[in-house]
Amino acid sequence: MRRLAVALALLAAAAAAARADWEVKRSPFDARLVARYKQILHANPDDGEALARLTALYKQYKSVDELRRELGAAAEKSHEANDWLAVGNLARNRGDFAGAAKAYAAALDAKSDDARALTALADADAHLGKNGEARPLYERALA
């Protein structure tokens, strides 16, 4: 009787371990959701909600530096002003106004008459105390 109880206990433990091997383990970092937020930012880099949610996902499951690298790589590959604006907005939200200014300048290199890039670069320069450089940028944006 004792052998039967031990055998049943071993069989139950083995069955539980076998079931655990077949369970699907999903990462809470949903790549499709991340791709969708990046697509939204590509179309509209000023979408604060998409940027905030994407940043929150990276804060929780990866790192914001990794998000910065990924957005920067996409911007370098596409050479589009919107992608550089998204990189700049991420840097600005983190308080990195020097990094934001660099990204906004790259957006202006991609599209020299982009009023959003001009205004964003002027704002970053103003936060850095470069008021003399910010004023002509604001004037260009208004022209």
Contacts of 4 (CB under 8 A, 6+ apart): none
- How far is Cα 9 from Cα 91, in angstroms, rounded to an integer? 57
pLDDT at residue 95 tops 80: yes
pLDDT at residue 47 tops 70: yes
Q: What is the pLDDT of residues 100-133, one digit of tens each?
A: 999 999 999 999 999 999 999 999 999 999 999 9
Answer yes or no: are the C-beta atoms of 118 and 137 closer than 8 Å: yes
- How far is Cα 99 from Cα 80, in angstroms, rounded to an integer? 17
Token look-up 């205004």 returns 119
**Percent of the chain with pLDDT strictly greater than 90:** 78
Answer yes or no: are the C-beta atoms of 67 and 29 closer than 8 Å: no
Both tokens of residue 64? Answer: 């914001």
Answer yes or no: are the C-beta atoms of 104 and 134 closer than 8 Å: no
- How far is Cα 64 from Cα 67, in angstroms, rounded to an integer? 5
pLDDT value for 73: 97
Q: What is the pLDDT of residues 11-20, one digit of tens each?
A: 666 666 555 5
pLDDT, the chain, mean? 89
Query: pTM for this structure?
Result: 0.80
Both tokens of residue 104? Answer: 């906004």
pLDDT at residue 10 tops 90: no
pLDDT value for 60: 92
